Structure 1
Amino acid sequence: MNTIAERRSALHDRFSTWVPRTLDAWLDACADQFPERDLVVTDERVLSYAEVAEESRRLADGLAALGVRRGDRVGLLMANHAEFVTLKFAIARAGAVAIPFNFLYRTDELRYVLAQSDCKVLITNAGFQALDHAGMLDEIVPGWDAPGFADRPASGNGAPDGLRHVVLVERDGDTPRPGAFTGRALAELGAAHEGAAAGAGHTPDDVSDLLYTSGSTGSPKGVQVTHDAVLRTAYASALTRAYEDGRRILFSLPCYHMFGYVEGLLSATYVGGAVIMLPAFSAEAYLTAIEKHRATDMLCVPTMAVALVESPLRHETDLSSLTAILCGSAPAPVWLWEQVERDFGVSEIVTGYGMTECGGAMTLTLPEDELVLTSTTVGRPKLAGSAGVPGTEHEGLAALCVYRTVDPVSGEVLPDGANGELTSSGPTTMLGYFAKPEETAAALHPDADGTVWLHSGDLGTVREDGYLVLTGRSKEVYKSGGELVMPKEVEEVLGAHPGISQVYAVGVVDDRWGEIGCAVVVRAPGPEGDGLTAEDVIAHAKEHLARFKVPKRVEFLEPDQLPTTATGKVQKFRLVELVAQSSQSSQPSQQGETS
């Protein structure tokens, strides 16, 4: 294999000039260059670049025949199945805006996003695991599978009245729905109207995706990003991580989220690579898939990495193909990376940071960086070369964006290296939240020169070398004894205890103190974690933290009890709810307090 520098140089040379494209035009360019190569690999199907392009063309014609036009919004409620990819590119080819919905939504959540997005067509599976999507639709839009649904009168009351068509993509084992318009029928309609989508007229600057935020701090909002933006972000990932030709990326992270969609699917296309998609995570499924499909790279979050290194199966599977790992969404201690490197023989381990509103991950550590940077920072702005911001060169390559900090209250720009709210500017920043002008205005702030800065809500610093250090969320900072406490500082101190696998510091309402700090702890496996008590946690905190930073309460949870988004990010607002419920419960709980 070529060196990291050689691989990065080869990619830069291939894309020395950035050419804006639509997603479907980019797929066609890749299919021309790599027609027979695998693009999508699942345990059920393997699709080449040419097959994805051909199938997406037929499905796009079907959508156009249904009446889908440029700018219409088409929902996609589907797990990581091969059909997701062909349908995703089909929606782009029809000139429509794809809304990849969270397939874990419950009925009320699905009703809200269908109505809020003004979704015209919904493409869905009958369900996922125990979730019955077809049954949810029976409640939300009765008669969706009956003739005349498209012509029904508006009902009002927050119902998704803009929804005109539902396409049910049936899978083996599904119970048939008589009367439903199926994915097969959509393809047949496209075959009967060949070329119907050819005149869609969309451009690289059109909105390609309406992506709903994961909701780590509250209700989701629809983020509007363009074709060009997501392709720039994907190329910057390949360049920064120095992809080799034909990289094969394994992930179970859902494609309705930027992590799986951009860092997985789109980035692989820049080297004629493939994505190995799993519908759900288990350590055994990951390890088996690495061996079976010869994955060279994998995407995960720290909780997944912990499960992988703790799985006995890692000793029984051939992991020799694996050379790289991207692990993001949450901080992790350096010992985890050292163990991954030792146990899996992987030297190119990186982490990153970003948000849907930026266009995905904006920063990454470099594969050649020391592991301490992976543990103590979230990387520096991605190397983007021709796709980046002129004048931001690092090692001869322009960066994808620029970061600076501002005072979280006044918005005043802070000096270099100062801790404050992280703001970013670059060509991949969202156009705004769909149908939410007030929220858009609160997030996007133009400078006097017209440069738009996105306010992240995250607190951190930009080091002299350009690497970012996160210190918390502005909404998660809490007061203890009248003093502000940064949760990340508490988490780093407690996380160093050998008996603690994961820890999250949150502020909770307390009758006596008004607000107190609570440490939610997941014990480490083995004897050091088995006997860990709340008193042990508090004693460790007292030894290393100022008194007002010491949590007054400790709660223990099992890993599967942590409330997380689909990408593994712990939802701290739900942790607060869990802690509040525990304090009100009459059942005994494992907690400790300190005065």
Structure 2
Amino acid sequence: MTADGPSIAQRRADLEREFAPWRPRTLDEHFEHVAARFAARPYVITGDRVFTYEDVLRQAHRFADGLAALGVRAGDHVGLLMANYPEYEPLKLAIARAGAVAVPLNYLYRTQELGFVLRQSCSRVLITMTSFRNQDYLAMLDELAPGWERAGSIGFGDLERVLTLDPEGKGEGREGVLDVPELERIGAASPGAARGGLRGPLEMSDIMYTSGTTGEPKGVQLSHDALLRQVYGSAYCRALPDGNRSVFALPCYHMFAYEQGVQAATFVGGAVLPQPRFDAGEYLRAIEQHRVNDVLAVPTMSVALVEHPARRDTDLSSLDRMLSAAAVAPTWLWERIRSDLGVRELTTAYGMTEVGGATVMTQPDDPLEVTASTVGRPKPSGAASEAGGPIAEYRILDPATGEPVPPGEPGELVARGPTTMLGYWNRPEETAAALRDGWLYSGDLGRALPDGSLVITGRSKDLFKSGGELVMPKEVEDFLSGQPGVSQAFVVGVPDDRWGEAGCAFVVPEPGAVPDPAALVEDCRENLARFKVPRHVFVLGADEVPQTPTGKVQKFKLVPIARDRLGADVFVRALSPADSA
């Protein structure tokens, strides 16, 4: 025990007393277990509304019974397109209790992106918001599947039924279409329709979509047990205290928020304060009003918090810890999180959806220089790991030969462990390429320090992260090259002081054409998810595109061209504390 409460070792011991030895459960069985223990405690706090564990469990039962009464069967795929509203948690649990497989959907998808994932995932039911920000999902469905309002064969893949939620009460529902409140009423009139326990812990619970090497999203199949082991490992590594309260605006469809927020809280009887939109002022108000002690963020959010003018007048005395991850952050930012926000336990992490989330983390008592310069070590996970150590075993291999690299040298990160994906949904070739003899080949490059910490040095593919979201350049390139006047397009990630990395597109015009960069950016905004939209567009002559003697484009040589056109200061601002004043 320290002066400020239980030590890190004591908090981990508390977790082990409750959950060791590990007992595999489904997601709904796990929540039944923790709700019995923490029934009266707050679980979801949104504004002034507080939902206890018992409240969420009862609503999840009604939703599950409603789904079963409507014909959802074990193994059916149910798409969930939902921002961080309080209905997300009970709906997610209800899908598991009904024996179905959840397909969390990115609510930034544009029409064609949404259509692709709905078809590819074989979703039979879709639960969707009517709208969010400038996204009109009902209009998207009108375009994709005319007549979607009727139940039964819609003529769009496997989709048979759509349920809607009008979260802000705008009256946007459609006549004849069931909404989420009606689903709950149907469930209340059909108690026991969903029996629970219809699928086992090692069976698939989720198909979570992530960008792939083909430029199309790939559905990562994860089991109930894999998710819960990974979540417990994070709670154990971070040594979350009893009753931990976390605030986040990271979307619940994303592994970061789902693992570190929605699920991690349940292992310690904690509460989550999910924010539908990121607003640094709202974060600060939530911390003060609800005595939040934990913040989940990507570096762009962390910058906004330390720079917000209300920070100095906000009571942040309850705030103890922060997990800031998913993108590179400059050293000055870590220092200001500690000095300006009073965070004592500051951690970062690395992982992939394919391995169930964050398998590498820094420790809450690591020196600041470790957190600022590495992504930590394979995380200790207590009861959830197979041998009581890290949740995943890592190797660093030469991408060309597949052989281990010498100590300290960079190579491709490959991992194996009990949280590794079951495979990509309906993509056997990609699954075989990524999973080899039980090892997951990440495509990420890194090197190991003598203490076992990992430093991410790049990616063997062309992927980059913008605001914590993974961007596949080929997807953007294909769109741009389909625009009038554009012959070719090449997209690279360049350093950005706010987003970590931003897309920089180079377009080669068709003969006689003069593409307008501003118009191309606007076209991207209208047709692509926001995080995929390039921040910079430049026109290049065909003879200016760097190529090998055999005609292959050398995209890495586009980065210095971007530096010259943008100005070198753009590339160093993210490392300078001057912008943080």
TM-score (structure 2 length as normaliser):
0.80
| Shift in alpha-carbon separation, 1:204–1:519, aligned structure 2, 3 A | closer
Q: Hey, what's the Cα distance between the residues in 1 that align with 2:492 and 2:567?
A: 10
For 1:411, which of 402, 405, 408 is the aligned residue? Answer: 402
For 1:163, which of 156, 159, 173 is the aligned residue? Answer: 159
Offset from partner CA, 1:33-55 (integer Å, 9 cap, x none) = 01010111112632110111111
Q: Hey, what's the Cα distance between the residues in 1 that align with 2:490 and 2:430?
A: 30
Task: Tell me how far 1:16 sits from its aligned partner.
Answer: 2.4
Q: Hey, what's the Cα distance between the residues in 2 that align with 1:428 and 1:55?
A: 29
Q: Hey, what's the Cα distance between the residues in 1 that align with 2:292 and 2:11?
A: 18
| Shift in alpha-carbon separation, 1:581–1:54, aligned structure 2, 3 A | farther
Q: Equivalences for 1:230-249 in 2 at 5 Å?
A: 230-249=227-246
Task: Tell me how far 1:518 sits from its aligned partner.
Answer: 8.2
Letter in 2 for 1:169: L
Matched, 1:121 2:125: yes
Letter in 1 for 2:382: G
Task: Tell me how far 1:337 sits from its aligned partner.
Answer: 0.8
Counterpart secondary structure, 2:333: helix
Task: Tell me how far 1:142 sits from its aligned partner.
Answer: 1.4
Number of equivalences: 500
Provide the residue aligned with 1:266 in structure 2.
Answer: 263
Task: Tell me how far 1:463 sits from its aligned partner.
Answer: 2.6
Task: Tell me how far 1:417 sits from its aligned partner.
Answer: 3.4
Provide the residue aligned with 1:348 in structure 2.
Answer: 345
Provide the residue aligned with 2:431 in structure 1.
Answer: 440
List gaps (5 residues or longer) in structure 2.
Answer: 466-470, 478-488, 499-517, 543-563, 569-581
Provide the residue aligned with 1:23 in structure 2.
Answer: 27
Letter in 1 for 2:425: F
Letter in 1 for 2:566: Q
- Residues 45 and 82 in structure 1, CA contact (< 8 A), matched pair in contact too: no
Task: Tell me how far 1:23 sits from its aligned partner.
Answer: 0.5
Matched, 1:183 2:151: no
Matched, 1:382 2:379: yes
Matched, 1:205 2:191: no
Provide the residue aligned with 2:546 in structure 1.
Answer: none
- Residues 404 and 462 in structure 1, CA contact (< 8 A), matched pair in contact too: no
Q: Equivalences for 1:50-65 in 2 at 5 Å?
A: 50-65=54-69
Matched, 1:7 2:3: no
Bigger drift between 247-256 and 137-146 goes to 137-146
Bigger drift between 217-226 and 34-43 goes to 217-226
Q: Hey, what's the Cα distance between the residues in 2 that align with 1:111 and 1:2?
A: 49
| Shift in alpha-carbon separation, 1:592–1:308, aligned structure 2, 3 A | closer
Matched, 1:461 2:457: no
Matched, 1:36 2:40: yes
- Residues 422 and 457 in structure 1, CA contact (< 8 A), matched pair in contact too: yes
Provide the residue aligned with 1:547 in structure 2.
Answer: none
Q: Hey, what's the Cα distance between the residues in 2 that align with 1:45 and 1:195?
A: 28
Matched, 1:591 2:577: no
Q: Hey, what's the Cα distance between the residues in 2 that align with 1:59 and 1:188?
A: 8
Task: Tell me how far 1:126 sits from its aligned partner.
Answer: 0.3
- Residues 235 and 267 in structure 2, CA contact (< 8 A), matched pair in contact too: yes
Counterpart secondary structure, 1:470: strand
Q: Hey, what's the Cα distance between the residues in 1 that align with 2:247 and 2:95?
A: 24
Offset from partner CA, 1:321-378 (integer Å, 9 cap, x none) = 1100000001112221111100011110000000100100111100000011111110
Q: Equivalences for 1:443-592 in 2 at 5 Å?
A: 443-446=434-437, 452-476=438-462, 520=494, 522=496, 575=534, 578-581=536-539, 591=566
Counterpart secondary structure, 1:326: strand
Letter in 1 for 2:461: K
Provide the residue aligned with 1:334 in structure 2.
Answer: 331
Q: Hey, what's the Cα distance between the residues in 2 that align with 1:230 and 1:102?
A: 19
| Shift in alpha-carbon separation, 1:167–1:126, aligned structure 2, 3 A | same
Provide the residue aligned with 2:417 in structure 1.
Answer: 426
Q: Hey, what's the Cα distance between the residues in 2 that align with 1:280 and 1:49?
A: 24
Q: Hey, what's the Cα distance between the residues in 2 that align with 1:248 and 1:193?
A: 34
Q: Hey, what's the Cα distance between the residues in 2 that align with 1:569 and 1:347?
A: 33
Task: Tell me how far 1:140 sits from its aligned partner.
Answer: 1.3
Letter in 1 for 2:164: L
Q: Hey, what's the Cα distance between the residues in 1 that align with 2:12 and 2:214?
A: 36
Q: Hey, what's the Cα distance between the residues in 2 that align with 1:173 and 1:569?
A: 24
Provide the residue aligned with 2:249 in structure 1.
Answer: 252
| Shift in alpha-carbon separation, 1:45–1:458, aligned structure 2, 3 A | same
| Shift in alpha-carbon separation, 1:119–1:339, aligned structure 2, 3 A | same
Q: Hey, what's the Cα distance between the residues in 1 that align with 2:264 and 2:134?
A: 32
Counterpart secondary structure, 1:82: coil
Provide the residue aligned with 1:529 in structure 2.
Answer: none
Counterpart secondary structure, 1:213: strand
For 1:150, which of 149, 152, 156 is the aligned residue? Answer: 152
Task: Tell me how far 1:275 sits from its aligned partner.
Answer: 0.6
Q: Hey, what's the Cα distance between the residues in 2 that align with 1:523 and 1:295?
A: 28
Offset from partner CA, 1:458-490 (integer Å, 9 cap, x none) = 00012332211110001249xxxxxxxxx99xx
Counterpart secondary structure, 1:389: coil
- Residues 460 and 468 in structure 1, CA contact (< 8 A), matched pair in contact too: yes
| Shift in alpha-carbon separation, 1:231–1:338, aligned structure 2, 3 A | same
Bigger drift between 176-185 and 419-428 goes to 176-185
Bigger drift between 63-72 and 350-359 goes to 63-72
Task: Tell me how far 1:201 sits from its aligned partner.
Answer: 1.9
- Residues 126 and 174 in structure 1, CA contact (< 8 A), matched pair in contact too: no
Q: Equivalences for 1:29-108 in 2 at 5 Å?
A: 29-43=33-47, 45-108=49-112
Matched, 1:298 2:302: no
Provide the residue aligned with 2:311 in structure 1.
Answer: 314
Provide the residue aligned with 1:494 in structure 2.
Answer: none
Q: Hey, what's the Cα distance between the residues in 2 that align with 1:199 and 1:15?
A: 21
Counterpart secondary structure, 1:399: coil
| Shift in alpha-carbon separation, 1:293–1:70, aligned structure 2, 3 A | same
Q: Hey, what's the Cα distance between the residues in 1 that align with 2:62 and 2:90?
A: 10
- Report the aligned-residue RMSD: 3.1
List gaps (5 residues or longer) in structure 1.
Answer: 155-159, 391-396, 447-451, 478-486, 489-503, 510-514, 525-556
Task: Tell me how far 1:183 sits from its aligned partner.
Answer: 1.0
For 1:195, which of 192, 195, 199 is the aligned residue? Answer: 192
Matched, 1:221 2:218: yes
Letter in 2 for 1:150: G
Task: Tell me how far 1:134 sits from its aligned partner.
Answer: 1.1
Q: Hey, what's the Cα distance between the residues in 2 that align with 1:166 and 1:193?
A: 20
Offset from partner CA, 1:3-50 (integer Å, 9 cap, x none) = 222212222232220000000011111110010101111126321101
Offset from partner CA, 1:289-316 (integer Å, 9 cap, x none) = 1112221101001111111111111112
- Residues 108 and 530 in structure 2, CA contact (< 8 A), matched pair in contact too: no
Provide the residue aligned with 1:324 in structure 2.
Answer: 321
Task: Tell me how far 1:217 sits from its aligned partner.
Answer: 9.0
| Shift in alpha-carbon separation, 1:316–1:351, aligned structure 2, 3 A | same
Offset from partner CA, 1:472-524 (integer Å, 9 cap, x none) = 001249xxxxxxxxx99xxxxxxxxxxxxxxx9x99x9xxxxx9998845469
| Shift in alpha-carbon separation, 1:8–1:182, aligned structure 2, 3 A | same
Task: Tell me how far 1:133 sits from its aligned partner.
Answer: 0.6
Q: Hey, what's the Cα distance between the residues in 1 that align with 2:91 and 2:491?
A: 46
Letter in 2 for 1:163: L
Identity of aligned residues (%): 49
Task: Tell me how far 1:214 sits from its aligned partner.
Answer: 5.1
Task: Tell me how far 1:70 sits from its aligned partner.
Answer: 1.4
Task: Tell me how far 1:591 sits from its aligned partner.
Answer: 3.2
| Shift in alpha-carbon separation, 1:517–1:247, aligned structure 2, 3 A | closer
| Shift in alpha-carbon separation, 1:60–1:362, aligned structure 2, 3 A | same
